Structure 1
């Protein structure tokens, strides 16, 4: 895993990353349900779980990896599975490791985004490109020559794609992790959550003023309950392994941070003091989770929401 120095000022005040592993999508797709494949992230930072859903007449790719090299690899894997079927591409949200390989699919697939994600890409895409390039030379190398690609099809709240014997529902569900979060449900049995859910990783509530202040942690909790109500047989998180009770674990974590932040705020703790206390306790409670540097982001987000109420 890479290490993140939250005290070091990176671009626009964002932490720099040290000892970074090349964020490459790699390995063979694994069938997690009939016709639904995942290229696992292998717990490599800035590598998402990539989905490929193959129907009788068409196939859908979910997320591309970061940069054109990853996008080309994902397209190759999709072609191996889909053969000569038409391809669709969608991304769970606009963040670079999920969608900045889309240029490989331009002209090779029909690209479908929700309107909120498309708009967020327009507002923040260039800023995120610069920010991620500044995190590490390893990441910058994957982002050279990136083109931000507009979708071919844009929907507002939900959309269905009939792949032939397989129905995929795309649902715009943000703001939470991002303003344009989207979940993908395959035949009511497989759910792709994007970074609304990760397995054994502390969640990030992005707060990078002035260009990203849209994460809404209070709303995120309610969305996790909505995702649980779907009763999907398989939940594919944005990062980390496919496992049982991943959504429950995330909801419990958010409930804990909200309750602790509220308690500490009432006791007169500053935002910094509250975050520091929560970091110490959360690292002990969830000792097997990666990315503890993200704990203060969620704690501070709840503190801001309390102050704004």
Structure 2
């Protein structure tokens, strides 16, 4: 299979360029790909006045950079991100991403921090199968999980997310884009944009990949107010998104109490394999959530103690963080995350 690669440069800064994969030109032969190139390039650049084209070529699948995917169950492949915060990463590729292959099509679960990462995920899928990517499921709004979606949208995939996600992502969109542009070099972020869901999940939904279906569930406010889980009944694999953190310190952007309530109730059916939002895959629910539940419980208790003692938030945050120090060695990116979580917990719990 052959793929159209456009070299796109920032207008007025011709040294800042990046390869852009344009999936609509995908073809079985180089000649077919080249025949489609001019029209597709013109359409893609038309609405991107900040970018200019600097040449294009059609490349075979084997020539494209591709994310390393691990097969964790039959038909299920996972990219394992580096479990640190985005500020500590050279390219922001910190989140776990999933691929589920059915008989007729493919579903992608989260797309990464940039178009560049989304393109490499697309290339990795093409090394596995020529089946179309019919669905992209976004587990929540955070940039490390959603900013690679545009390449799949252009390839014809339907984008799905929690019912609260469109508003939550739209409000934060420019901040997320500014953040990745500040943190990472231009070649990592050129072409990256916001892709909102085409369809939302209010409660539960199911998608069909041909001989294989996935169950989607919109969860209550926990890590965020738009967390979505994905379950593959065929292998009993559960994709939790950031409702489960492993190795990377958990971040509260929703409700501490809601998150603890979610952790108290094991999923039904009990999964045989859990793919967390960050950190290694595991076959044990207890192993998946144990350290996180302990961390969040200690955070809740220390925060309640500070509030009960009448400590103002400015003094309470370092006090709460200090109370959690015995857990520091268990988590990457602990100092900055613990302080942020202490602030979020105080704001929530002071109104109990």
Calculate the TM-score normalised by the size of structure 2: 0.72
Output the CA distance in 1 between the equivalents of 2:181 and 2:220. 26
Residue equivalent to 2:130: 83
Deviation at 1:161, TM superposition (A): 1.0
Change (3 A) 1:36 1:279: same
Residue equivalent to 1:11: none
Output the CA distance in 1 between the equivalents of 2:293 and 2:257. 11
**Which of 95, 111, 120 is the aligned partner of 2:159?**
111
Change (3 A) 1:76 1:26: closer
Deviation at 1:147, TM superposition (A): 2.4
Output the CA distance in 2 between the equivalents of 1:41 and 1:227. 25
**Which of 137, 140, 163 is the aligned partner of 1:93?**
140
- Structure 1 position 158 matched with structure 2 position 197: no
Deviation at 1:205, TM superposition (A): 1.9
Output the CA distance in 2 between the equivalents of 1:189 and 1:116. 26
Residue equivalent to 1:232: 271
Determine which structure has the larger strand proportion and give its number: 2
Match of 1:160, SS state, is strand
- Structure 1 position 171 matched with structure 2 position 217: yes
Q: Is the 8 A contact 1:116 1:172 kept in 2?
A: no
Output the CA distance in 1 between the equivalents of 2:68 and 2:340. 34
Gaps of 5+ in 1: 1-24, 207-214
Aligned counterparts, 1:1-309, within 5 A: 27-43=67-83, 45=89, 46=92, 47-108=94-155, 109-134=157-182, 136-138=183-185, 141-187=187-233, 189-206=236-253, 215-228=254-267, 230-243=269-282, 244=284, 245-292=287-334, 293-309=336-352
Q: Which moved more, 1:230-239 or 1:78-87?
A: 78-87
Gaps of 5+ in 2: 1-64
Change (3 A) 1:174 1:80: farther
Aligned residues: 275
Deviation at 1:154, TM superposition (A): 2.7
Deviation at 1:115, TM superposition (A): 2.2
Output the CA distance in 2 between the equivalents of 1:62 and 1:120. 19
Deviation at 1:27, TM superposition (A): 4.4
Deviation at 1:229, TM superposition (A): 5.0
When the two chains are superposed, the root-mean-square deviation of aligned CA atoms in Å is 2.2
Higher relative contact order (CA 8 A, sep 6+): 1
Calculate the TM-score normalised by the size of structure 1: 0.81
Match of 2:175, SS state, is helix
